[in-house]
Amino acid sequence: MRYLSFSSRLGRSLKMMVGSLAVLLIGLVGFSLGDPHPEAGPNRAEGKWASPSPVQQVSISSVTAKTQAMLTAQVRSRSQRPNIVIILADDMGYSDLGCYGGEIETPHLDQLAAHGLRFTQCYNTARCWPSRAAIMTGYYAQQVRRDTVPGVPSGGRGTRPAWAPLLSEILKQHGYRCYHSGKWHIDSQPWNTGFDHGYVVNDHDRFFGPKNHAEDGKPLPQPKPEDNFYLTTEIARFAIKYLKEHAQQHGEQPFFLHLCFTSPHFPLQAPQDVIAHYMDRYRVGWNVIQEERGKRLLQMGLVKNRPPAMEIEVGPPYHFPEALKILGPYEVNRPFPWNQLTQEQQAFQVAKMAIHAAMVHIMDQAIGEVLEQLKAMNALDNTLIMFASDNGASAEIMVRGDGHDPKAPPGSAQTFLCLGPGWSSASNTPFRRHKTWVHEGGISTPLIVHWPAGIKSQGELRHTPIHFIDVVPTVLDILGISLPQEWNGQPRPPFPGVSFAPLFVQDGSVSHEYLWFLHEGNRAIRVGDWKLVAAHDEPWELYNLAADRGETENLIQKEPEKAKQLEELWNRLWEQFQADARRDIPANQEKPSPVQKTPRESAGQ
């Protein structure tokens, strides 16, 4: 499947957009019926502070007898095990999709939402490799050494403990065929971790001609310009190739597809005809787009808060002054009010957001092709599909890869552009901050769950907070798989997450004792609706997310005792997670290091 011109796909898009409108109508109806959120408030977390265990298997709250019966009928007692498809976008903002309030045309994902569930409070880890570790192991990334742990080889090049298998390794032992296509960014390789086939992209600098990509361990040549190669469509093409082979040769077995796009991660690159389609849309600027998205999110019942003001003092998380020189005077590294930019600056910024939108648009088209293949295999109804983003949109600005030619058309292979803080703020509407931060903008992701054979609710919202650490427990719960207490001969700590399968039937039917965050010194903890959060080297802030998910009213002076309790719990958990990371390392191989805030990883993944 090569990239098809925009005009050749327009007819299909228009048909799919009819389904997209259904999502908005469903959202409006749900909003008019009253507050769809479960009972919440600043006192909801009371009673959970007395000597909490540093790592305790979180309990699932009681479910009504009727709900439990429905769950048993729909999920637990299925004679035919469902296929599992996990789809990840890369650096996509919370409100980029049409079904999450965005203006980008995403009819295929919108239709999945219209016939499935949208989760409004799903969390990732704020960065690529920790999120992929969490979603594939069921543990916080620090527990499995896939984010920085002082004194332990860890982080983006860390190696998981032997007791932490990937979901593919577990499913492989239970009769599943496993396939990966796209970005990897986990230790080892797919062909060594339970996948029967794997297309891996290790080049994060080129969409039209990656230099480093491989299939099943065999390097592939760099595509030539005449090949009409575009990475997003190729990632889908490999997935379709594996699904076709599965249908022909292994149709009696269920499958797991791990489909990981590199879009819309920088460099912002896309075919020129799709970019042109979005150019006029963004001439109004990032302030208007943020406002319009915020209104739609409220109308659809996805959130309660209006977007916070853009933080003019907050720029990219890493400073590359040489990149700004290369990019020229029209690049802007702060989210200044749009009307304060020059016409030339506005034009430069409009092009960047048009490319970002084109990348999301083409990713949706590629997902549509995969869905068509599932339909052709008669597999769509009994396939559990989960779509999310690995972190929020990125404020980063840099130049790498083949460099940036300011004379080349923006978005072409000769350019290297990044979204930057202005458009990232708009993409992360209605939240604060960006990728790498653990304020809501960095860690909040859309999550669409679609499974016609197992989820009878269609077009509904789920407001219960969940996290990527919950994905593995959920899949194992649905399949009735109980992991042994040891893996590879090593004791395995309990999962810190829960199965959210009960939410397929009823919102509010699961709960967490806590949700914990740490990346590059940015740290947070959420208990109930209370969230304690701090940026790197900055003091703690306290928010009541039930009333203020935009994190605009810092309550730390009004609630010092609550903040103290949350900080103590965060510290206890951090101590335990470090112990988990060290549990299989002989004491004489550890590198003594004081407990400190994590150092910054290398930028740009």
In this structure, the dihedral spanned by the alpha carbons of residues 404, 409, 411 and 414, taken in order and rounded to 10 degrees, is: -40
Between 483 and 46, whose confidence is greater?
Answer: 483
Q: What confidence tens digit (pLDDT) does each residue in 34-74 have?
A: 333 333 332 223 222 222 333 333 333 334 444 445 554 55
Tens digits of residue pLDDT in 240-251: 999 999 999 999
Return d(Cα 48, Cα 527) in angstroms, integer.
Answer: 8
Of 419 and 79, which is predicted with more confidence? Answer: 419
Using the predicted structure, report yes or no on whether residue 594 has a pLDDT greater than 70. Answer: no
Residue 604 pLDDT > 90: no
DSSP reduced 3-state for 251: coil
Rounded-to-integer distance, Cα 184 and Cα 358, Å: 23
3-class SS at 544?
strand
For residue 429, what are the contacts with CB-CB under 8 A and spacing of at least 6?
Answer: 93, 94, 95, 101, 289, 290, 293, 294, 297, 307
Question: Tell me: the pLDDT tens digits for 300-342?
Answer: 999 999 999 999 999 999 999 999 999 999 999 999 999 999 9
Residue 155 reports pLDDT greater than 80: yes
pLDDT at position 343 over 50? yes
DSSP assignment letter at 488: T
Residue type, 293: R
Is residue 132 helix, strand or coil?
helix
Is pLDDT of 428 > 50?
A: yes
| Whole-angstrom distance, CA of residue 528 vs CA of residue 550 | 16
- Is a pLDDT exceeding 90 seen at residue 22? no
The domain covering 6-36+49-504+512-589 belongs, at the CATH homologous superfamily level, to Alkaline Phosphatase, subunit A (3.40.720.10)
Query: Residue 418: which pLDDT band, with cuts at 50, 70 and 90?
Result: very high
pTM here? 0.89
State the alpha helices, DSSP H only, in 330-413.
343-376
- pLDDT, residue 587, reads 67
Q: How confident is the prediction for the chain on average, in pLDDT?
A: 88
pLDDT of residue 591: 56
Percent of the chain with pLDDT over 90: 83
